[in-house]
A and B are shown apart, each in its own frame.
Chain A
Amino acid sequence: MIHIEGLGKSYGGQWALRHASFQIRSGEAVGLLGANGAGKSTLIKSMLGLLKPTEGTVTLASDAVYLPEQPQLPETLSPLAMLRFKCRARGWAQTQAETALHEAGLAQQAWNRPLRQCSKGMRQRVLIAWCLCGGHEKVMLLDEPMSGLDALGRAEVLSLFKQRRESGAAIMMCSHIVPDMVRLCSRILLISGGVIREEVTIREHSLSEAEILEKKLARWQ
């Protein structure tokens, strides 16, 4: 589903990402864990072509759905207008927009409200709905998808992504919330200084695994 080979990105000779190579199979979720500035977003943006990679190749089996880290959504638009745009652009039925908003758990009274009147958590749910809309994409790249959500919201969203994973999607997720990553992902890539340092396989999906991961990450910083 996702095949990355020797991916690298440099800015004026300064490498932000180097020698990234990994694969993600269908029905697998992989986490990307690293401190701020470790190269997580650079890796995801290079995979999507938003950044032009300096070296290496990216192969994605299908169109990728991307959830950027805290984008400022157009304030005058409503959540429904945003989602309907995606449906129109892809030639999907308009009802898929409503289904996605419902699935993401956004209260119906907020669907037609301008986004400037929506809270941070509501906006994040709009972004989640944006990702879920259509459900045709088999590759999902998520940059801090739980940002701005409360504990209950995080659990709900996590179960949605689990459903997508089980229906065959390949998911890559960046997050600072290690327990969430452990719950969703079967492998975690530890990244530091733009280099993937270690790959950790998650077996128990428990909090103790999260603590081990945090310790491993601290060792690389």
Chain B
Amino acid sequence: MNDIAALIRLTLRELLHQRAYILLTAVALLIPWLLIIPMSLFLIDLGKVLSDMLFAAEHVLLSCFLFFIAAPLMARDIEQKVCHLLLTVPLKRSRYIIARFGGTALAILPMLLLFLLSSCAALEVVAHFWPVYVKAGIGLSFLLGGGMLLLPYLSLLGLLYLISTASSGGAETLVFLLSAWLLSWSVPPVLAALQQPEVNAKIPDWISALITAIDHILPHLSSGRLALDIAHQHIPPGIQLGAYTLEHLAYMLITLILAIMIFERRDLT
């Protein structure tokens, strides 16, 4: 385990010292307080408005991490032969992928934690000054809901590793990651709309069953719904939370296993 732990540590050190990461972390700290300005333009439900804006900001931050920090790391490793050095330490290819993934996933945590704590504090301040429009305890709910949003991004990170192990470099990785990211946002709402009772009544049963099956199989990588419900202080039943967690962890594992299988077989030119 020495080698995996050492590479996780190296990856963390490498990412945490990047200027892009430091900038993103600074933004994560500031943005909750800056969002109070546009929030104050609204007249009612200020707490809900701010938590929605913070939720959107969290999506943006995590997506930026994925595109500007995680994707270039693997692309550079392959394109610029850093992985040649690391693999000949020696390190098995599977262990290299696991350690790089572990390091990248861990690197999200400090940034996310700072954002969530800063958001929690901003929401509590808003609740203190506008108690009529903001429910008490909204900060803590956002902390929980925002934390749950990490799971779909871990699935996306797994998908990024799958893409980058098969790709030839940065450009290819970014194009495929962008496509997967866009699909993860656009497909679930379309599938949800197709499963509405009015639509179901007008299409054959087998198509309806097919759409439902696809909806169950495809990962809901943008599934902020459940996390947003928690942030809005509507705690879903435990079984739903468990299913949500299990779904994303399963997708993360599947994509990582596939990434390892591809990386084991590929030529590193």
A66 at the B interface (CB under 8 A): yes
Q: How far is the CA of A152 from the CA of B264 in the complex (A)?
A: 41
Distance in Å: Cβ of B253 to nearest Cβ of chain A = 24
Give the contact-size bracket for chain B.
Answer: 20 to 34
Q: How far is the CA of A85 from the CA of B18 in the complex (A)?
A: 18
Distance in Å: Cβ of B207 to nearest Cβ of chain A = 42
B218 at the A interface (CB under 8 A): no
A114-B17 contact, Cβ under 8 Å, with A50-B268, A68-B85: yes
Within 8 A of B (CB), among A47-76: 48, 50-52, 63-66, 68-69, 71-74, 76
Interfacial chain B residues near A48, Cβ < 8 Å: 84, 88
Q: How far is the CA of A4 from the CA of B212 in the complex (A)?
A: 56
Q: How far is the CA of A2 from the CA of B243 in the complex (A)?
A: 53
Determine if A45 and B14 form an interchain contact, defined as CB atoms under 8 angstroms apart.
no
Determine if B10 and A85 form an interchain contact, defined as CB atoms under 8 angstroms apart.
yes
Determine if A45 and B89 form an interchain contact, defined as CB atoms under 8 angstroms apart.
no
A160 at the B interface (CB under 8 A): no
Distance in Å: Cβ of A93 to nearest Cβ of chain B = 13
Q: How far is the CA of A71 from the CA of B81 in the complex (A)?
A: 5
A85-B9 contact, Cβ under 8 Å, with A63-B90, A76-B17, A77-B17: yes
Number of interface residues of A (CB under 8 A): 28
Interface residues of A (CB under 8 A from B): 45, 48, 50-52, 63-66, 68-69, 71-74, 76-77, 81-82, 85-86, 88-91, 114, 127, 130
Chain B, residues 1-32, CB within 8 Å of chain A (1/0): the string is 01101110110011101100000000000000
Interfacial chain B residues near A73, Cβ < 8 Å: 82, 85
Interfacial chain A residues near B18, Cβ < 8 Å: 76
Distance in Å: Cβ of B124 to nearest Cβ of chain A = 35
Question: What are 14 A-B residue pairs whose CB atoms fall within 8 Å in the complex?
Answer: A45-B268, A52-B267, A65-B88, A66-B88, A69-B81, A73-B85, A74-B82, A81-B10, A86-B89, A88-B6, A88-B9, A90-B3, A90-B89, A127-B85
Q: How far is the CA of A57 from the CA of B239 in the complex (A)?
A: 54
B196 at the A interface (CB under 8 A): no
Determine if A68 and B14 form an interchain contact, defined as CB atoms under 8 angstroms apart.
no
